[in-house]
Amino acid sequence: MQLRAFFDQYEVSDAVQDSLIAKMDSADRWLSLTANTKPVSERVQVSGGMKETVSTYADGSIAVSGTQIPQPEGQGGVSAQSVSGCATSSTAYSATYSNCLADVNLGIMRMYFRFNWRKTFGTSATITSFDPNSRGGHCILCSMANQRVYRINSSDVRFAAETTVAWDGSPVQITAYMGARTNLSSGAFTYHN
């Protein structure tokens, strides 16, 4: 099962997995999918070329948010589908990051897209462009419609979709979103609702 593989990858115990799957089967909402719920712990790790923040909630559910680690120009890979990887180049005054992946995975729902950004040292960090056609993801036991990637401001781009999930025994429609933000101190990072 795709969900168990996700949990195994992030070291969620079998007992917690069983509890979360039972909650899902009985239409109980996981805390990682509940608005305004704060995680009880967070850890940062590097995995598969991504800098990930793994947030764990009181019920054991997790949210994995990450951005691709940039490689110097010329060191990205080429896959059968497209150029892959986040590349960086710099001058004395700025650094440019191209084709960077923003990715949020909640286990039952994953959303991602690619963007470019620039940091002008001591001045600004802005998202220069994004590729709305690079968006993707999945939703287990739910649907995603009206998918769109759009700019909030010069340092924030969001991917949103209308999602129908069966929580508490009846279908509930929510706007699920994730995004990429930039700032001088943190560089590029992701967020979600």
Digit-coded pLDDT (tens) for 6-15: 899 999 999 9
**pLDDT band, residue 155 (cuts 50/70/90):** very high
- Answer for the pair 115, 150: CB distance below 8 angstroms, yes or no: no
pLDDT above 80: residue 83: no
pLDDT, position 168: 60
Domain ranges (residues) in the chain: 2-70+99-192
Residue 114: both structure tokens together: 């690619």
Greatest Cα pair distance, the chain, in angstroms, is 58
Q: Which of 163, 139, 135 is nearest to 148 (CA)?
A: 135
Decide if 74 contacts 89 (C-beta within 8 A): no
Q: What is the pTM of this model?
A: 0.81
Nearest residue to 53 via CA among 41, 62, 40, 44? 44
pLDDT of residue 73: 56
Q: What rounded mean pLDDT belongs to the chain?
A: 85
| β-strand partners of 96 | 89, 118
For the stretch 24-61, pLDDT in tens is 877 778 888 887 889 999 999 988 888 889 999 999 99
